[in-house]
Amino acid sequence: MVAVPVITGLGTAHPPSSTQDELWTGFFAGHFSGATRELGRRVFANSGVHQRQAVVNPLLEDVSQWPTESRMRRYQVEALPLGRQAVERALAAAGLAAADVGLFVVCSCTGYATPGLDILLARDLGMAADTQRMFVGHMGCYAALPGLGAASDFVTARSRPAVLLCAELTSLHLQPSTARMDTQQVICHALFSDAAAAAVVVPNARGYALREVASVTDTSTADHMTWDVTDTGFRMGLSAKVPQVLSRHVRGLVEELLTRHGTKLSEVDGWAVHPGGPRILTVVERELALPPEALAASRATLAEHGNCSSPTVLLILDRLRRAVSPPDRVVLLAFGPGLTLYTALLERHD
Write out pLDDT tens, residues 148-178. 999 999 999 999 999 999 999 999 999 998 7
Catalytic residue, from 107, 141, 166, 308: name it: 141
- Work out the average pLDDT over 240-246: 89
Q: Quickly count: other Cβ atoms within 10 Å of residue 112's Cβ.
A: 17
Domain with 22, as residue range(s), is: 5-203
Percent of all residues in the chain with a pLDDT value above 70, rounded to a whole number: 99
Alpha-carbon span 58 to 55, nearest angstrom: 10
Percent of all residues in the chain with a pLDDT value above 90, rounded to a whole number: 89
Residues 6+ apart with CB under 8 A from 330: 208, 268, 269, 270, 271, 272, 317, 320, 345, 346, 347
Cα–Cα nearest to 274, from 38, 110, 48: 48
Query: Residues 41, 24: contact at Cβ < 8 Å?
Result: yes
- Work out the average pLDDT over 333-349: 95
Q: What is the pLDDT of residue 44?
A: 95
Residue 180 has pLDDT above 70, yes or no: no
Residue 241 has pLDDT above 90, yes or no: no
Q: What's 211's domain CATH number?
A: 3.40.47.10
Model confidence pLDDT, tens digit, residues 17-71: 999 999 999 999 999 988 888 899 999 999 999 999 999 999 999 999 999 999 9
Kindly list the distances between the CA atom of residue 196 and the CA atoms of 36, 114, 226, 279, 345, in Å, as whole numbers in the listed order.
31, 19, 22, 24, 22
Alpha-carbon span 221 to 245, nearest angstrom: 8
182 and 211 share one domain: no
30 and 87 share one domain: yes
- Output the pTM of the full model: 0.97
pLDDT band at 144 (very low <50, low <70, confident <90, very high): very high
Active site residue 188: no
pLDDT band at 105 (very low <50, low <70, confident <90, very high): very high
Q: Quickly count: other Cβ atoms within 10 Å of residue 62's Cβ.
A: 15
Residue 276 has pLDDT above 70, yes or no: yes
Task: Please give the mean pLDDT across all residues of the chain.
Answer: 95
Kindly list the distances between the CA atom of residue 176 and the CA atoms of 74, 161, 166, 186, 302, in Å, as whole numbers in the listed order.
18, 43, 27, 11, 25
Q: What is the pLDDT of residue 33?
A: 85
182 and 52 share one domain: yes
Alpha-carbon span 117 to 105, nearest angstrom: 10
Bridge-based pairing of strands 233-238 and 132-136 is unpaired
Which of 203, 226, 251 is a domain's end point?
203
Report the SS3 class of residue 342. Answer: strand
Q: Quickly count: other Cβ atoms within 10 Å of residue 320's Cβ.
A: 22
Max CA-CA distance within the chain?
A: 65
Which of 178, 203, 228 is a domain's end point?
203
196 and 161 share one domain: yes
Model confidence pLDDT, tens digit, residues 183-204: 888 999 999 999 999 999 999 9
